Every structure is written in structure tokens, then in C-alpha cells.
Amino acid sequence: MKTVLLGVTGSIAAYKAAEITRLLKKADLNVVVIMTDSAQEFIAPLTFQTLSQNSVVTNMFEKRPDWHPIHISLADSADTLLIAPATANIIAKLANGIADDILSCTALSLDCPIIIAPAMNDKMWMNPATQQNVETLKQRGVKFINIEDGELACGTEGKGRLASPETIVEILLKVMI
């Protein structure tokens, strides 16, 4: 059974990651969820533990039964990393090699495909720094799932919505084949 690491970051769209988890499990994939501290402000790890049937990783310094660093163990077990939703913050960290939490440390330790599904305010998405970070990651082989136009959490309309869970899983499955 192939393993997908699902990185969930601090976006209001984090609730959609629960449906992504369900769809990945339905596709007979092992799903291990890695949550940032900010993601846990939007949705509880217990939701993902229940849906994935795996422990949720939330801390780089969790006590472990073995000596292996958790980010290396996660990276070694992964067939794909999907970050959905991906904030401007995690995109910037990865583009600049910053590894200061469990998700960014794991991402920088991988040798498998990385897929990023962004979600943020349209002004953040269109910011030249974000666009440059996206281009940097694309040049390194990271696959991006297009964000969508529509109503944003801040009450405005614009380009910044997370793609639908179905679209995200469909693209991930094509990458994994």
C-alpha cells in the first residue's frame, strides 16, 4: 500500500483536508497527516486520526519508541507529499529551505514527489514574493494544483480558493501512477 503524507497548514480551508483524507483512504492509500500548529487552530488532529486511521504528527519533538528522527522516518515511508491547503508561509519556507517545524523538515528530507494545493487570500497569492516562491518550487519539480476563483473566507471574491478535494485527489493519483 502506498503512503501519502498529507501536510495541513493554517488556512480556513483546512477543513477541506478532512474530505481529502477520506478520499485518499477510499483510494486504498495509507494516509499520514502532518499538521502545523496553525492548522490545529482550524481543525483538530482527532478528525484526521479518525479518518486516516493513523496517528497525526503535530510536533517534531514527540517522544518516540525508537531513536529515529520523526521527519526522516516520515520521509523514508512516503511515496508522495501532498500539502493541502498550502499557505503562503509554507510555500515560502520550502522555496527558501527553511525547516523550522515538522512539516517543513519532512518536506526538505523527501526524495518523492511533492504536490502543493495553495489556498490563501488573492492579494497574498498575487504578491510578487509568493509568485516567485511558487516559480522557484516549480523549477525544482514541485507540482502545483491550480487555485480557484470564487468567494474567499475574508468575504471578497478572487483567486485563492483551494481546489476541490476531488480535483486534488484526482491529480495526486495521476502523479502516483
Among all residues, which ones are annotated catalytic?
154
- φ/ψ (deg, to 5) at 119: -155, 120
Residue owning grid cell 488532529: 45
34, 46, 63, 104 from 101: Cα distances, Å: 10, 20, 15, 6
Q: What is the DSSP letter of 57?
A: B
How much is the CA Rg of the chain, to the nearest whole Å?
15
User: Which conformational region is residue 141 in: left (phi greater than 0), alpha (psi within -120 to 50 degrees), or beta?
Assistant: left
CA distance 105 to 88: 17
CA–CA separation, 75 vs 60, rounded Å? 13
Alpha carbon separation from 40 to 15, 44, 139 (Å, rounded): 10, 5, 31
The helix/strand/coil state of 97 is: coil
- CB of 81 within 8 A of CB of 137? no
